[in-house]
Chains A and B, each alone.
Chain A
């Protein structure tokens, strides 16, 4: 059973399109995150949710909108995709004070 699962694993799309990435965790964790990993492997936090509530919203364009229907799910919707949005997006979850558990990533390529 995968602890943190993301779908899809790969997305290839045209500039201007809208896309979504879904994330689910079966660890019973209260907090979930979206991280972006760029082509140089740098990981940067985008959003954090705790029990369905937005806790952290870093300086991310408002074309990115996270949604958490329940504490086991955190989805990421991206509007009007741009070339610079190409990256690997990682979902992660944690119990308070614990380490992060990561999904396998969703590689987004914008053409």
Chain B
């Protein structure tokens, strides 16, 4: 069975600083990997996804993530944090189109002015 571990339930960065949110996965077969963002009182919105094409994936709002098979990681980064990036971020994994996404526990990102 697949699983996801997000390191750090809360990350705080200054506005303009690098954002790094960590995600490690466990999967017995090549995974599909996703990052979602949840703003307060809203549903989840897809930021980006990896489905075995390019290992560096670019998403919306300036975010990107790199798939590293040797490290079983899919960390999310953004070069310069903006106040509007403050939200909950979820990493998720599935093993094929037939299996539902399994989510990590989420990381709350705070951005300090």
> Is the Cβ of B106 less than 8 Å from the Cβ of A104?
no
> Is the Cβ of A43 less than 8 Å from the Cβ of B103?
yes
Compute how far the CA of A90 lies from the CA of B101 in the bound complex, rounded to whole angstroms. Answer: 13
Asked whether B83 is an interface residue with its Cβ less than 8 Å from the other chain, the reply is no
> Is the Cβ of B96 less than 8 Å from the Cβ of A99?
no
- What sequence of 0s and 1s flags, for each residue 38-63 of chain A, a beta carbon within 8 Å of any chain B beta carbon? 00111111001000000010000000
> Is the Cβ of B97 less than 8 Å from the Cβ of A96?
yes
Give me the interface of B with A, judged by CB distance under 8 Å: 32, 34, 36, 38, 41-46, 49, 51, 88, 90, 96-98, 100-103, 105-106, 108
Decide: A42 near B100, CB < 8 A? Known: A99-B46, A102-B44: no
Residues in A with CB closer than 8 Å to B45 are 102
Compute how far the CA of A90 lies from the CA of B32 in the bound complex, rounded to whole angstroms. Answer: 21
> Is the Cβ of B88 less than 8 Å from the Cβ of A100?
no
Partner of A33, one of B43, B100, B108: B100
A 87-110 contacts with B by CB, 8 A: 90, 92, 96-105
Q: How far is the CB of A39 from chain B (nearest CB, A)?
A: 12
| Chain B residues touching A, majority SS | strand
Decide: A48 near B100, CB < 8 A? Known: A90-B43, A102-B43: yes
Compute how far the CA of A90 lies from the CA of B92 in the bound complex, rounded to whole angstroms. Answer: 15
Partner of A97, one of B44, B88, B96: B96
Compute how far the CA of A102 lies from the CA of B88 in the bound complex, rounded to whole angstroms. Answer: 15
Compute how far the CA of A44 lies from the CA of B106 in the bound complex, rounded to whole angstroms. Answer: 12
> Is the Cβ of B96 less than 8 Å from the Cβ of A41?
no
> Is the Cβ of A41 less than 8 Å from the Cβ of B100?
no
Q: Which of A40, A97, A100, A105 has the most CB of B within 10 A?
A: A100
Q: Please give 10 more A-B residue pairs, beta carbons under 8 A apart, in addition to A41-B106, A100-B36.
A: A4-B43, A43-B103, A97-B32, A99-B34, A99-B46, A100-B44, A100-B101, A101-B46, A104-B42, A105-B41
